[in-house]
Amino acid sequence: MYLITKEVYFCYGHRLMNHKGKCRNLHGHSVKACITIKADQLNEQGMVCDFSDIKESAEKYINEQLDHNFLLHKEDAIIPFLEQQQERFLALDDHPTAEILAKMIFQHLKTAGFQVDQVSLWETASANACYREN
């Protein structure tokens, strides 16, 4: 089994409804997503796949959906105000945690045809959430 990992960086704002601590406040993160692709055999070029292909697919999705966006649970009470102010946001069925963002990026790349091993999202320099399906 061969594994390669590409790092992608982006920023977002969010808050976590019902959180007992400071994550309930409006705040933001500058994060690193580590995307690991796997292959049993290398391609004709001796690669799992081209790093730039991972970057292109991941960044297109992240730029459209997550980067410099405000990520909220769909029932967050601030949504009507953001709509009124014509502010950009993304309402999710789930709470906008690092775990869920890792899963969203994983599922995008899987749908795009990559053999994804895992996506881990470094929310801070010391805190990482990982999603994998095996």
Residues acting as catalytic residues: 23, 68, 123
What are the DSSP E strand ranges found in the chain? 2-14, 27-39, 69-73, 90-92, 116-124, 127-131
Angstrom distances, CA of residue 8 to CA of 22, 85, 107: 26, 30, 16
Angle separating helix axes 98-111 and 51-65, nearest 10 degrees: 120
Give the Cα separation of 89 and 113 in Å (integer): 27
First to last CA, the chain: 14
The amino acid at 110: K
